[in-house]
Amino acid sequence: FNEEILKSIKFISHYSCNKSSLILKLFLSNFPKKITYSPSQCSYGNFKLNKKLLLTADQKTAINKLSNISFKKFNVILLEGVTGSGKTRVYMQKVKEVLDNDLQCLILVPEIILTSQWVIEIQNDFGLNATVFHSSISKKERERIWAESNSNKVKLIIGTRSALFLPFKSLGLIVVDEEHDGSYKQEEHVILNARDFSIVRAKNSNCMIILSSATPSIETYHNATLKKFKVIRLLKRVKDINLPKMNIIDMRKETGVISSQLMKKIKYNLESKAQTLIFINKRGYAPFVICKKCGFSKVCNNCNTSLVMHNYLKKTGAFLLCHHCNYRENFLNVCPSCKNRGSFDFSGFGIEKISEIISNMFPTAKICTLSSDTTQSSSKFRKIVSEIVSNKINIIIGTQLISKGHNFPFLKTVGIISIDNLINDFDFRSFEKTFQQINQVGGRAGRKELQGEVLIQTLQPHHPIFELSKSQDNLKFVEWELQSREKNNQPPYVNYISLIFTSRNENSLTNFAYSASKEIKNNFANLKIYGPAPAILYKKKTKFRYRLLIKLDKDNNIQKKIKNYLIKFETPHDIKLYIDVDPLNFI
């Protein structure tokens, strides 16, 4: 490994409170047993902009600003652009410049299923051949790419967060697309944020990094405000197409799950050959099942959480699934408690139930559902997206997967339902996540000549988030949110470190969590510590969980001391400690 990798491992190890050996293991996870190189240099093609893709004045201005910033020294660029403004076209010009200088480029995307779409788009629009890297490609292929990254033979890689642990020899540019996306946070085993680690690798490689998003994270905005990041903005859509109009639907006046206004829009779109997208960020048919006779509810054997009903619409094959450990059991509509048959009620709404409701309302419409359950293979995903793009689908029903990077030319209306679940979440980032989700999903509408429209169904029509979403003004929202965060002494004005203790032995876990909390308080008298307390998801994958939250002021000395202490913190053999610095997840 070169010096950059060793320095990056050392830094992120200390910052994330993970032992350096664990970070090293991530870099070595695809180390080839036998190193074989391709006989010739890997070709990435010849950069040639598709003639159909005429650059807008806005894009040309952004490209000129970007070209005036050297990629040969460390710079963090926030490329902020409204949905449909062509951010990819802007940063691909910088990719070309770096490749022409015989340096390596890494483009990170949030989801595995999106990598093939990005590769096809870059091939069609720019004539470049990219290498795809993620955990679902074969072990042999991952090992080949690892070896060729380490020998500077592979130049352009598009991948998920695991691609960040390739041993690049001459890294010239990193692009983090959809930088706000929570998928960049690795939550299992070694907990760290790939977006933040990308910045570390770029700094130690002395190269440029571009963070691209229509709705950048609050932390990224804050760093831009502090002049740590340079900002380039695209304020207009391609061809000066208007942003969609945001409409708030007061569901207190409605009786069904689909509002009368949304039903009218769907009917109109069917008649005028335009498409409708219905967004609900819940997988499956129903979030939980409960017996109407005795109140018995189906819960996971391994986690203290409800099992989610899946596949109920099919005559056979319905099953209950845990979304935390993937425990699965076939569904029998017989209550094991009171023995009544057909007594289960399916409470709440998932994507499958919404699909059932829409199918009954519009029986002649061609409907598709897009979620991680229905599109597990990239070929199936590409087929459905192709049908949407060619207007063979009338109504699209999708989860968060549909909000990322898609361009559907015939999509006129987006209906957002059950958004109140997110806005009322206990997470201090719930308003930020809601704003991002509304603008990302809503931004799919009106990409061609159609005037797009977004219908947000809510029981809280006067909530400030909806008013801010209607304005579609990121800066206005960020200013409002940062004022609230500063007043409540929350990130980015302070740092959080979450400690998660897990064990199969409930009693020893409880005792150790309290003694550990006491020990930390004794060592750091003025430290703000909350807990210990049972985690919201108290049992996960057969292990009980306790949480402790440390709040740190932006003082480098105290941060160093507490992290040096935590990284050496010992636990009994039957208890594991996971340290989550800057947590995104609080369950």
Residue by residue, DSSP assigns 198-225 as: HHHHHHHHT-EEEEEESS--HHHHHHHH
Strand partners, 321: 308, 328
Closest of 481, 434, 480, 427 to residue 458, by C-alpha: 434
Confidence (pLDDT) at 404: 75
360-411 confidence digits (pLDDT tens): 999 999 999 988 887 767 778 888 888 998 999 999 999 988 877 677 889 9
Residue ranges of the chain whose pLDDT lies below 70: 35-47, 49, 51-52, 315, 376, 405
Confidence (pLDDT) at 51: 65
CA neighbours within 13 Å on the CB side: how many for 326?
A: 1
From edge to edge, which strands make up the β-sheet containing 395-398?
A: 245-250, 453-458, 411-416, 275-279, 395-398, 367-370
Instruction: For 81, list phi and psi in degrees, rounded to 5.
Output: -150, 140
Q: CA of 79: how far to CAs of 213, 229, 479, in Å? A: 7, 10, 19
**Radius of gyration for the chain, computed over Cα atoms and rounded to the nearest angstrom:** 25
3-state secondary structure of 13: helix
Enter the tokens of residue 452.
Answer: 């797009």
Q: CA of 545: how far to CAs of 298, 323, 461, 528, 536, in Å? A: 21, 17, 37, 21, 9
Confidence (pLDDT) at 36: 63
Q: How many CB atoms within 10 Å of residue 210?
A: 28
Which helix H or strand E contains 76, and what residues bound it?
strand 75-81
Residues 6+ apart with CB under 8 A from 583: 496, 497, 498
Residues 6+ apart with CB under 8 A from 208: 69, 70, 71, 73, 74, 75, 76, 77, 94, 98, 172, 173, 174, 202
How do strand 185-186 and strand 192-193 relate by DSSP bridges?
antiparallel
Query: Which residue type does 285 have?
Result: Y
Closest of 347, 395, 337 to residue 370, by C-alpha: 395
Confidence (pLDDT) at 190: 93
| DSSP code, position 585 | -
CA distance 64 to 495: 36
CA distance 292 to 300: 19
Residues 6+ apart with CB under 8 A from 263: 361
Q: Are residues 125 and 49 in contact, defined by beta-carbon separation less than 8 angstroms?
A: yes
Q: CA of 585: how far to CAs of 252, 387, 430, 433, 500, in Å? A: 31, 35, 11, 12, 11
3-state secondary structure of 15: helix
First to last CA, the chain: 37
CA distance 116 to 130: 10
Enter the tokens of residue 499.
Answer: 């400690």
Confidence (pLDDT) at 45: 64
How do strand 308-310 and strand 543-553 relate by DSSP bridges?
unpaired
Residues 6+ apart with CB under 8 A from 462: none
CA distance 554 to 558: 8
Note the maximum CA span of the chain.
73
CA distance 183 to 508: 33
How do strand 308-310 and strand 411-416 relate by DSSP bridges?
unpaired
CA-CA-CA-CA dihedral for 379, 188, 371, 92, to nearest 10:
-60
CA distance 227 to 202: 17
Q: Are residues 103 and 48 in contact, defined by beta-carbon separation less than 8 angstroms?
A: no
Confidence (pLDDT) at 39: 46
Enter the tokens of residue 131.
Answer: 């290498």
Q: Are residues 411 and 275 in contact, defined by beta-carbon separation less than 8 angstroms?
A: yes
Confidence (pLDDT) at 38: 55
Query: Which residue type does 332 have?
Result: L
CA-CA-CA-CA dihedral for 24, 26, 27, 28, to nearest 10:
90
CA distance 215 to 242: 17
3-state secondary structure of 482: helix
